[in-house]
Amino acid sequence: MFKRYFSLGVFMAGALLSCTTLQAQDTENLNYRKWRVTLFPPLSSNGTNAVDYTARYSINLLVGYHGGLDGAEFGGLVNYNKYYANGFQLAGLVNGTGGDMAGVNIAGLSNFSSGDMSGIQVSGLANISGDNLEGINASGLLNYAEGNSSGLQFAGIGNLAKGDIEGLQGGGILNASWGDISGLQVAGVANIARNSVEGLQVSGGINLAGDDLSGLQVSSGANLAWGNIEGLMITGGVNVARGDASGLLISGGLNIANELNGASISGGANIAKELTGLQFAGLLNASEKATGLQIGLINVAKEFNGVPIGLISYYGNGRKNIDVRFSDGGFTDLGITLGTHRVYNSAILGYNTLLDRNVYRIGLAVGLEKNIQDSFRNWQNETMYVNQEFAVTHQFEEKWSDRLNLIYSYKFLLGKRFGNGFSVYGGPSFNAQVTRVAGAKDYTWYSLWSPEWKGRDYRFWVGFTAGIRLFKQKAPQRFEDEFNNWDIEW
């Protein structure tokens, strides 16, 4: 039954359109009648000249074909006005006009106008405007505007606009614009803007801005902007900014930007050609040139100025050192020390050479290297330096175990360079041990305080560290001199 009525409605609407010229006409020349009644053309109270009339009230028992409407129209199947329709229309299948449509239009299948559409349109299948759309459109499947759209659009499948969009689009699957978007798009699968976006895009799959983005994109799969970004991108998958990005990128997988001024946070990797700001990743941060803060398991850049925190921080203009050191309690550690010449990270592998059993440890250290005059103002010696370092190590005996057995250490180390490839250093350390391993107290020679709490043993002591550092090293500037070189306007 539905297919029969649908086919009939489409056939009648197509037939009416095919026999109608849609060229503009002086609608003021239409004759006016308050009432008209039609069974189907030409069985009408206006006879064969129905296209020459407009009316205030129109009743079409099956199909109506008239010149215009200035009031209310009710149709069993189809209401069609050749030049315009202003007012209220209710049809079992289709409301249509060869010109503009303004008012409230409710149809079982479709509302369509060859000109502008403004007001409220509700249909079971589709609302279609041949030009601009202003108002509210709600349909079971599709809303389409050949021109610009402003207002609200809601559709079970998709909302499409060939021009610009200003307002709100809600689609069960797709929202798409061939022009710019200013407002809000919400879709179950994808939001697509061929040009710029100003506002908010939320989708269960993909958001795409074909040009610049100013606002917010939220998706579960991917956010893509082919132009510049000012705002926020949040996704469970991938964020891509092919132009410059200013703002915040958050993803569960990958963030990619050309030039980023702001923050990039990812559960997987952050990749930017140039970065000024923050990169935080569960696995990898990578840039050609970066200034700011990088936090990740692996940090990589050709040129980096700032603070790296990670297991591996490898920079073309940074340090690449090997450290061998001995500390109180008998641990000898080998460290791979990378980062900048100011701030470094060290991956630690150690073994206790004084105990009668095999005790190993792994750890991570973050350190700050200073010019000697930053700590001792009257000590003028370019070969001397100070390292302030915080380290955490996990100890395990005989074979790997993840049972709690940690040592936290703060070290104040005084060093001297012999050339640019070798230095020695040493100094005090302030240590705290937290362990659930019986017998781990012999990692230390003594303890200043040894409390027990909730099955954990704690030990606090002051110790020492001495070591050597190999390969290229560079004397850092004094903080005061480095600060004066920064280009800051107060």
- Which residues are bridge partners to 280 per DSSP? 265, 295
Structure tokens at 273: 């050609």
Inform me whether the pLDDT recorded for 42 exceeds 80: yes
The C-alpha atoms of residue 338 and residue 348 are separated, in whole angstroms, by 12
User: Which pLDDT score, from 0 to 100, does residue 22 have?
Assistant: 36
Residue 30 pLDDT exceeds 70: yes
338 & 444 share domain: yes
Q: What does the pLDDT read at residue 466?
A: 98
Domain count, the chain: 2
Who has greater pLDDT, 179 or 490?
A: 179
Determine the Cα–Cα distance for residues 348 and 333; give it in Å rounded to an integer: 6
Residue 367 is assigned to a structural domain of this protein: yes
User: Is residue 346 domain-resident?
Assistant: yes
Q: Is residue 362, in this structure, part of any structural domain at all?
A: yes
> Does residue 19 carry a pLDDT above 60?
no
Are residues 323 and 313 part of one domain?
Answer: no
Q: What percent of the chain has pLDDT over 90?
A: 54
Q: What pLDDT, in 10s, does the model give residues 148-190? A: 888 888 999 998 888 888 888 899 999 888 888 888 889 999 9
How confident is the model at residue 1, as a pLDDT?
A: 42
For residues 287 and 354, state if they share a domain: no
Listed as own residue / partner, the contacts of 55-61 with beta carbons closer than 8 Å and 24 or more positions apart are 56/32, 59/35, 60/91, 61/37
Same-domain pairing of 308 and 330: no
Q: What is the pLDDT of residue 148?
A: 86
Answer whether residue 4 shows pLDDT above 60. Answer: no
C-alpha to C-alpha distance for 95 and 74, rounded to whole angstroms: 10
- Do 390 and 305 lie in a common domain? no
- Residue 227 inside a domain? The answer is yes
Task: Name the percent of the chain lying above pLDDT 70.
Answer: 92
Q: What pLDDT sits at residue 485?
A: 52
Q: What is the pLDDT of residues 263-311, one digit of tens each?
A: 999 999 999 999 999 999 999 999 999 999 999 999 999 999 988 988 8
Last residue of a domain, one of 293, 317, 341: 317
Same domain, 256 and 382: no
Residue-number span of the structural domain to which 409 is assigned: 319-480
Of 9-13, 58-62, 473-477, the range with the lowest mean pLDDT is 9-13
Domain boundary (288, 317, 346) is at 317
Does residue 143 surpass a pLDDT of 70? yes
Q: Do residue 418 and residue 296 come from a single domain?
A: no
User: What pLDDT digit, counting tens, does each position of 430-446 carry?
Assistant: 999 999 998 898 998 89
Asked if the structure places residue 226 within a domain, the reply is yes
Looking at the structure, tell me whether residues 462 and 353 fall in a common domain: yes
Residue pair 52/68 in contact by the 8 Å Cβ criterion? no
* Cβ-contact 189, 202 below 8 angstroms: no
Please give the pLDDT value at position 10. 40
The answer to whether residue 154 is domain-embedded is no
Asked if residue 466 and residue 383 are part of one domain, the reply reads yes
Mean pLDDT rounded to a whole number for the chain:
87
160: amino acid identity, one letter: L
* Residue 240 pLDDT greater than 50, yes or no: yes
94 has pLDDT over 80:
yes
Amino acid letter, residue 439? G
Alpha-carbon distance 291 to 307, whole Å?
8
| The pLDDT value given to residue 13 | 42
Q: What is the pTM of this model?
A: 0.75
Looking at residue 28, its pLDDT comes to 61
Do 408 and 312 lie in a common domain? no
Domain boundary among 317, 352, 378: 317
CATH of the domain at 465: 2.40.160.20
Candidates 374, 328, 337; CA nearest to 480 is: 374
The answer to whether the beta carbons of residues 483 and 374 sit under 8 Å apart is no
Tokens 């190993």 correspond to: 360
One domain for residues 240 and 343: no
Query: Is 429's pLDDT higher than 80?
Result: yes
At 418, is the pLDDT very low, low, confident or very high (cuts 50, 70, 90)?
Answer: very high
CA–CA separation, 59 and 6 (whole Å): 21
* Predicted local confidence at residue 27, as pLDDT: 55
Residue 3 lies in a domain: no
For residue 167, is it within any domain? no
For residue 167, the model assigns a pLDDT of 86
For residue 481, what pLDDT band results from cuts at 50, 70 and 90? low
The mean per-residue pLDDT over the stretch 416-421 comes to 91
Determine which of 49-63, 96-110, 322-336 has the lowest per-residue pLDDT on average.
49-63
The answer to whether residues 200 and 246 belong to one domain is yes
